[in-house]
Amino acid sequence: MTAVEPKADQATITVRNPADGRVAGTVPVDGPDTVAAKARELRLYQTEWEEIGPRGRKAWMFKWQDWILDNADHLTEVLMSETGKSRKDASLEPVALADSIKYWAGNAEAFLADAHPKPHTLIYRVKKLTTVYRPYQLVGIIEPWNFPLAMLALDVVPALAAGAAVLLKPSEVTPLSAVEFARGWTEVGAPPVLGLATGYGETGAAVIDNADYVHFTGSTATGRKVAVACAQQLKPLSLELGGKDPAIVLADADVDRAANGIAWGGMFNSGQVCISVERVYVEAPVYDEFVRKLTANVRNIAQGQEDSGFKYDTGAMATAAQCDIVDRHVQEAVAAGARVLTGGKPTGVGTFFQPTVLADVTPAMSCIAEETFGPTLPVVKVADEDEAIRLANDSKYGLSATVWTGDIDRGERVARRLDCGAVNINDALTNVFCPSLPMGGWKDSGIGYRAGGPSGLIKFCRQQAITAPRIPTQKSELVWYSSSRRQARMAIRAMRAFAGKGVRRFGVRPGK
């Protein structure tokens, strides 16, 4: 069963619920001409969107935030219908979206305020220096299928708050939530600066062709193609790509908390999270206890998709192809000597894959070396902290990590030795819910950062420098051609006095 109909020269995409195969809706396939027309239209309205400033934008965005909270149940239903998520997993997304609008729209005025840096020498005290943040006119955002609404909270919301128009390309697998997201924008009457382009990879490529800045979230392989396209067109970009996040459980950890937190951090959203725990390194003294407790927790996870209420913890895989990757990783591990402690198979219904714990795994196995993006937790016994850090860093990815310890100072020391963009101590996934922190992947996990307080908005802006005189100006400046040579010599002498140190400032060489 697939979440989408096979690719063909078709005018629409039929979206299906991967949990049961039911048709969830259809969207058009936007070809390059349609995308270009949408981009032109968005540019027309962006000028006004920029001109109303952060306060004017906040007023519209706060109306939209109300709409999202008022329609949270409906948005959850749509999310479930196209992803196969459980209600518990899906319900988090509209709330995360509202929280993001509050943060970015609420802080944009402060974050984008003009800056007046101090001149670096006395000479320039006669100038008023200003840094102005001017948004890119059209930001193209290409998103994947794992969080059809929450991803938009991370990227589309700050781009709009920065004053850019946004052309959003959701995944072909899960476009329906984005349709609702854009419908809310229109229903509150906000200016038409949020556009949607639905379709396949060709539509994504057209979004790149028409945008001034590109943000992409998805696989490292497609991210490379996006980077090449942006390089050819000299367009700035940010990439948030795959991960293989390690968890390190030290012998002084609260083993119950580690086993609870890692079960959640690995299985939330059926493991389809770029920052989910994908491999676990445990110090030998607590290995047996940890594995026993983790296995019990994972075995207790209720999996399914309910019609009402909160019955299940986690749901289906978003695509059959993703389910096949998980299955291959488990089968290859077992063939190479790993033990399945719980789970290990597709359930046979829809695209559900049993929450799985693997023991006796080795670094060469695909479940450790490749991104799985599914509900598996391979656990490795290590001799000590150094071995855990070495194995954790032995990956082409560097998105984030978790460290579990009874000693926070030790946890921070370990964090500073890990080659990745974020480390959560005694917790999982936390950093992504804190927009005042930067979120970015190192190595093959990405380029650039999301969020991080002011820089989360400034990334969608061009910085413009403006200088202006602070005092009445003369007819000429000392170094201009209209001044005499004597005046030019005086000016250069003054500049030297500020550029140098000690006696060199006055044209003297020490010791001469």
Contact between 375 and ligand NDP per CB under 6 A: no
The answer to whether 24 and 79 are in contact (CB under 8 A) is no
CB of 204 to ligand NDP, least distance (A): 2
* Tally of CB atoms within 10 A around 270: 32
* Residues between 178 and 207 with contacts to ligand NDP, criterion CB under 6 A: 200-201, 204-205
Contact 459, 448 (CB under 8 A): yes
The minimum distance between CB 24 and ligand NDP, in angstroms, equals 16
At 380, the amino acid letter reads V
DSSP string, 145-209: SS-TTHHHHHHHHHHHHTT-EEEEE--SSS-HHHHHHHHHHHHTT--S-EEE--SSHHHHHHHHH
Alpha-carbon gap, residue 85 to 280, rounded angstroms = 25
User: What residues from 104 to 143 belong to the interface with ligand NDP (CB under 6 A)?
Assistant: 142-143
Stretch that binds ligand NDP, among 99-107, 211-219, 328-336, 455-463 (CB under 6 A): 211-219
What is the enclosing helix (H) or strand (E) of 397?
strand 397-398
Position 487 contacts ligand NDP (CB under 6 A): no
Distance CA 395, CA 392 (A): 7
Residue ranges in 152-171 that form contacts with ligand NDP under rule CB under 6 A: 169, 171
Choose which of 144, 411, 421, 438 interacts with ligand NDP (CB under 6 A): 144
Asked if 447 touches ligand NDP (CB under 6 A), the answer is no
Under the binding rule (CB under 6 A), the answer on residue 7 touching ligand NDP is no
Q: Does 16 bind ligand NDP (CB under 6 A)?
A: no
Give residues 257-276 in contact with ligand NDP (rule: CB under 6 A): 274
Beta-strand relationship, 400-404 and 339-342: unpaired
Complex with ligand NDP: residue 163 or 242, whichever CB lies closer = 242
Residues 240, 278, 371, 385: which is the catalytic one? 240
Q: Is 439 in the site for ligand NDP (CB under 6 A)?
A: no
Active site residue 240: yes
Q: Name the token pair of 117.
A: 């840096």
Residues in contact with ligand NDP, shown as a per-residue x/- string from 281 to 310 under the rule CB under 6 A: ------------------------------
Taking the least distance from each CB to ligand NDP, the nearer of 81 and 146 is: 146
Strand partners, 249: 282, 404
Q: How far is the CB of 151 from ligand NDP (least distance, A)?
A: 7
Task: Say how far residue 78 (Cα) sits from the centre of its chain.
Answer: 22
Task: Using the minimum distance from each CB to ligand NDP, give the nearer residue, 154 or 258.
Answer: 154
* Shortest separation between residue 434's beta carbon and ligand NDP, angstroms: 18
| 382 to 421: interface string for ligand NDP, x by CB under 6 A | ----------------------------------------
Least gap, CB of 267 to ligand NDP (angstroms): 16
Does 423 interact with ligand NDP (rule: CB under 6 A)? no
Q: What's the closest the beta carbon of residue 218 comes to ligand NDP, in angstroms?
A: 3
Which residue shows structure tokens 């480390």? 423
Q: DSSP letter string over 30-72?
A: --HHHHHHHHHHHHHHHHHHHHTHHHHHHHHHHHHHHHHHHTH
Q: Does 148 bind ligand NDP (CB under 6 A)?
A: no
* Minimum distance of ligand NDP from residue 453's CB (angstroms): 22
Q: C-alpha 397: how far from its chain's center?
A: 15
Q: Which of 93, 172, 245, 278 touches ligand NDP by CB under 6 A?
A: 172
Report yes or no: 87 and 76 within 8 Å, Cβ to Cβ: yes
Instruction: Note whether 422 binds ligand NDP by CB under 6 A.
Output: no
Residue type, 302: A
Contacting ligand NDP (CB under 6 A), which of 17, 217, 342, 376?
A: 217
- Which CB sits closer to ligand NDP, 252 or 324? 324
379: DSSP letter: E
Q: Is 396 helix (H, G, I), strand (E, B) or coil?
A: coil
- Taking residue 499's Cβ as centre, other Cβ atoms within 10 Å add up to 12
Nearer to ligand NDP, 38 or 169 (CB): 169
Considering the complex, what minimum distance in angstroms separates the CB of residue 242 from ligand NDP? 5
Instruction: State whether residue 346 is helix, strand or coil.
Output: strand
For ligand NDP, give the closer residue by CB, 132 or 227.
Answer: 227
Strand partners, 143: none
Footprint of ligand NDP on 304-363 (CB under 6 A)? 322, 325
Choice between 50 and 371, CB closer to ligand NDP: 371
Determine, following the binding rule CB under 6 A, whether residue 218 of this chain makes contact with ligand NDP.
Answer: yes
Q: Which residues pair with 436 in a beta bridge?
A: none
Residue among 261 and 446 whose Cβ is closer to ligand NDP: 446
Sorted by sequence, the CB contacts under 8 Å of residue 196 that are 6+ apart come out as 38, 167, 168, 169, 170, 175, 178, 179, 182
Asked if residue 344 lies in contact with residue 354, where contact means CB atoms within 8 angstroms, the answer is yes
Tokens (6 digits) for 386? 């150094």
> Which residue is associated with the tokens 């001799």?
383
Q: Which residues are catalytic?
A: 240
Q: Which residues bind ligand NDP (CB under 6 A)?
A: 142-146, 169, 171-173, 200-201, 204-205, 208, 217-219, 222, 225-226, 240-242, 274, 322, 325, 371, 373
